[in-house]
Amino acid sequence: MNQKKQRRNSDKNRGAVFEGPKSYPILGCTLSFIANRHRVSQWITELLRLSPTQTIVLKRLGGIHQIITANPANVQHILKSKFPNYPKGQFGREIMADFLGQGIVNSDGEPWKFQRKIAIHGFNTKSLKKFIHHVVEEELFTRLIPLLEKAAMENMILDLQDVLESFAFDNICNIAFGWDPCCLHVDALLESEFAEAFDSAATLSSERFRSLAPWSWKLKRLFDIGTERKLRISIDKVKGLAIELIQRKKAEARPTGIEVEDLLSRFLNAGIDEDIIRDIVICFVLAGRDTTSAALTWFFWLLARHPHVEEAIIKEIGHKDGINMGLDDIKDLNYLHASIYESMRLYPPVPVDTKEAAREDVLPDGTKVRKGSRVSYHPYAMGRMEALWGKDYEDFKPERWLDKENGMFVPCDSFKYAVFQAGPRICMGKEMAFVQMKTVVVALLKRFRIRIANSNFKAVYVLGLTSKMEGGFSVRIEKRSEKVLA
């Protein structure tokens, strides 16, 4: 459906607010929420499809209003046109403050602007891009590929989700801290105290979002009991090691004028307070670990179920094998780029993002916004809207992103495809994430077939800070013939 038609439908339905599930005084829609707690993303998607404006208003416990939208016009309004009115807000910042502090993904206003300015400068340097590419290649060819070769030789079953998380964690720690936790090894996935604490902190922090009432987790934190005690212990370990790495990096500081590589060194050179640096780098580790590993897990699952797409990618790869691939070589892989884009349309690493209204407002579809309301846009639901993608919206179809005449990748409006956010807070690492993912896919598909271990396996998308596959993704690895490698 083209944008003009979308706008006409939006104007026609303007102000037709869909109230969502049945609500009760004080309780709001809590009973419906509890009934669908195991499938929140799918439930919200169903509600948004029923709404004539692709927007719903949920009444939460205690009379809190939450607006959720899959309407691109609303997304543009929230993320760009009225950006100052929709900060992360106190609700979101408070939930993640213990773990992420004042880091870039958990800050608003001037602190956010300052951190983003420095980060953008770092991300745009050729030296950092080369360093990241080198780190990924080193990890790929000395650890990931040997591990998969061994699995193929011994007919082992691997949890690919675990493997990719360990791979991504080693990569991002090298890029962020200049330090290798060595989670991925040819013989096994090694236990890392830092990785284990980091995973625990991320998981337990995300559970705060799902609390029916904020006071419940705050009470547990006050008395240091239950999940909040576990969270505190995990965060203490993460922050303790982060400070240790910062102090170690300070001690080995290079003379002025010598170009540094990792993000930590770049932030230290900018003269930022040590605690702020710690928070920034932890934010980057969180983003770099979870998003690429989640995206690749779902991508390889989709490929295993769509062999014709896998064959088309193999054909496009040609003689490339992932070794010493330049950025131009990677950019030329249009079908692969479209395939990853399409995978993330259906299974976005971050399924929902929430802001808080600083003032009263009215969204373009007529939805009234109260001051203090939580306002969310929902990439998972947006990827499943017939109004946005047509009748084949459920199909994994990379061709929808390609020009029919020349086969070049054609992006769409970022407010329709908000997987990487949009507007001033658009993801800074988007380009580098694609370079990493495409490098990994080329190297693995050139050498292996990745097959689902259990023919009865049903992949379930579970909600957290990032999307995961419930119970992991068990696969068998098969080596490709030498003809494909030639």
Tens digit of each residue's pLDDT (9 = 90 or more) over 73-89: 999 999 999 999 999 99
Residue pointed to by tokens 């061709």: 399
Does residue 79 contact residue 415 with C-beta atoms inside 8 Å?
A: yes
Q: Which of 269, 270, 278 is nearest to 244 (CA)?
A: 278
pLDDT score of 258 more than 60? no
Q: What is the mean pLDDT of residues 425-441?
A: 92
Pairwise CA distance, residues 448 & 462, whole Å: 28
Q: Per mean pLDDT, which of 59-68, 128-137, 233-242 is the most reliable?
A: 233-242
pLDDT score of 10 more than 80? no
Does residue 44 contact residue 381 with C-beta atoms inside 8 Å?
A: yes
Does residue 17 contact residue 367 with C-beta atoms inside 8 Å?
A: yes
Give the domain ranges of the chain.
1-94+349-391
pLDDT value of residue 122: 73
Exposure on the CB side of residue 83, measured as CA atoms within 13 A? 12
pLDDT value of residue 98: 97
Does residue 148 contact residue 444 with C-beta atoms inside 8 Å?
A: yes
Backbone torsions φ then ψ of 192, nearest 5 degrees: -120, 125
pLDDT score of 234 more than 50? yes
Lowest-confidence segment of 178-182, 256-260, 294-298, 476-480 by average pLDDT:
256-260
Q: What is the mean pLDDT of residues 104-113?
A: 94
Pairwise CA distance, residues 432 & 131, whole Å: 11
pLDDT score of 25 more than 80? yes
The number of beta carbons lying within 10 Å of the beta carbon of residue 138 is 14
Pairwise CA distance, residues 283 & 278, whole Å: 9
pLDDT value of residue 423: 97
Q: What is the mean pLDDT of residues 193-220?
A: 90
Lowest-confidence segment of 19-33, 232-246, 410-424, 445-459 by average pLDDT:
19-33
Q: Which of 325, 314, 353 is nearest to 67 (CA)?
A: 353
DSSP code, position 26: T
pLDDT value of residue 59: 87
- Using only C-alpha atoms, the chain has a radius of gyration, in whole angstroms, of 23
pLDDT score of 1 more than 60? no
Helix, strand, coil % in the chain, rounded to nearest 5:
55, 10, 35
Task: Answer with the residue of higher pLDDT: 213 or 412.
Answer: 412
Lowest-confidence segment of 175-189, 245-259, 374-388, 449-463 by average pLDDT:
245-259
pLDDT value of residue 8: 52
pLDDT score of 141 more than 70? yes
Please indicate if the annotation marks 427 as binding a ligand.
Answer: yes
Residue pointed to by tokens 């003379």: 255
Burial level of 114, CB count in 10 A (0-12/13-18/19+)? middle
Q: Which of 259, 279, 319, 309 is nearest to 102 (CA)?
A: 279
pLDDT value of residue 288: 86
Checking DSSP bridges between strand 374-377 and strand 361-362, what pairing results, if any? unpaired
- DSSP secondary structure of 400-461: GGB-TTT--B----TTTS-BTB-GGG--TTHHHHHHHHHHHHHHHHHHEEEEES-TT----E
Q: Is 369 helix (H, G, I), strand (E, B) or coil?
A: strand
Backbone torsions φ then ψ of 367, nearest 5 degrees: -65, 125
Q: What is the mean pLDDT of residues 441-449?
A: 95
**For residue 480, what are the contacts with CB-CB under 8 A and spacing of at least 6?**
446, 447, 448, 449
Q: What stretch of H or E contains 345?
A: helix 334-346
pLDDT-derived band of residue 366, with 50, 70 and 90 as boundaries?
A: very high
Q: What is the pLDDT of residues 155-205, one digit of tens each?
A: 999 999 999 999 999 999 998 888 889 898 866 566 678 899 999 999 999
The chain-wide mean pLDDT, for the chain, equals 89
- Across the chain, how many H-helices and E-strands are there? 21, 11
Q: What is the mean pLDDT of residues 38-62?
A: 92
Percent of the chain with pLDDT over 90: 66
Q: What is the mean pLDDT of residues 88-97?
A: 94
pLDDT value of residue 256: 52
Checking DSSP bridges between strand 374-377 and strand 65-69, what pairing results, if any? parallel
pLDDT value of residue 11: 55
